[in-house]
Amino acid sequence: MKEIKEIAVRLFGTNKRCSCGGGHEICLGCGVCRAKNPDQLWNEREPIANYIDSTLLKADAREEDIKALCSYAIKAKCKAVCINSHYLPYAKSRLKERSGLCTVINFPLGSGTNLAVLAEAEAVLDEDIDELDMVQNLPALLSGYWMVTSEAIREVKALCNECGTLLKVILETCFLTREELIISCLISKQAGADFVKTSTGMGPAGATAENVRLMRTVVGPKMGVKASGGIRTREDALLMLKAGANRIGTSNAKAIIEG
């Protein structure tokens, strides 16, 4: 799409062709080129559980809730369990690597300073997690300082690389214009993130097929797209997967997998 390429040229100032796909068309100069990586796309022949992050991020979650979450994730073979960092040691003892372990930082407001976000990343990465979901710096992005959030993503990704941890960037699409969503996808890709993700699930709106479709169009097939926020049924999940997601974040894993 012409507008995506125009925005990419404006941000990164080059007309060199990319070889990894994506609506930006030009090379973004990513730290690590994804061109030879396998596609990160949904395969409808695989069990839907392979694409599910079973999630519990409520402030009032109790230990017994985390126990139940982990037990079902193991039984259903969910891709990962996503929880707040307080419960990481407990969840790791329950999962024993039978499902991936994920936590969140700069969550849910996306308003921490880069130094604070980096310190939080260091702390949770010490817990030997498999995946990390960080909210982008929303105040910076919305005020036009996209380089600030780009820097945060790049620095957190460098820490993740040291630990072999996958990084997803939560864009919080409900607060973004179409152009801001395109910019967010472009800078996340350029900064080296493994996934772009729609929502925290705590904002006024969650994932939409339209936004997921645009995100996939922007980043192309070599990068992950996670849909989260308001996905409660199997039909909801399939709608997002067909739109381009290859990961679903949900607090209703059982209803989706068994529905």
> The domain that contains 136 carries what CATH number?
3.20.20.70
212: in domain? yes
- For residues 82 and 112, the answer to whether their CB atoms sit within 8 Å is no
For the chain, what is the domain count?
A: 1
18: in domain? no
pLDDT band at residue 1, thresholds of 50, 70 and 90? low
Beta strand 100-105 with 131-135 is: parallel
58: in domain? yes
Q: What is the largest CA-CA distance in the chain?
A: 54
Question: What is the extent of the structural domain holding 211?
Answer: 39-258
Coil, strand, or helix at residue 81? strand
Mean local confidence (pLDDT), 180-184: 98
5: in domain? no
178: in domain? yes
Rounded to whole angstroms, what are the CA distances from 91 to 27, 62, 238?
Answer: 40, 12, 28
23: in domain? no
198: in domain? yes
* Interatomic CA distance for residues 20 and 17, integer angstroms: 9
User: Measuring CA to CA, which residue among 138, 137, 66 is closest to residue 103?
Assistant: 66
61: in domain? yes
* Interatomic CA distance for residues 37 and 29, integer angstroms: 16
Coil, strand, or helix at residue 68? helix
Residue 40 sits at the vertex; the CA angle it makes with 38 and 42, to the nearest 5 degrees, is 125
Catalytic residues: 133, 197, 226
pLDDT band at residue 121, thresholds of 50, 70 and 90? very high
* Interatomic CA distance for residues 211 and 151, integer angstroms: 24
- Residue 43 burial by CB count (10 A; 0-12/13-18/19+): exposed, middle or buried? exposed
User: What percent of the chain shows pLDDT beyond 90?
Assistant: 97
Q: Letter for the amino acid at 219?
A: V
Mean local confidence (pLDDT), 5-21: 93
- Is it the case that residue 207 has pLDDT exceeding 80? yes
pLDDT of residue 60: 97
Q: What are phi and psi of 102, to 5 degrees?
A: -130, 145
Q: Letter for the amino acid at 20?
A: C
Q: Which bin fits 19, alpha (ψ -120 to 50), beta or left (φ > 0)?
A: alpha
* Interatomic CA distance for residues 230 and 109, integer angstroms: 17
Mean local confidence (pLDDT), 49-75: 98
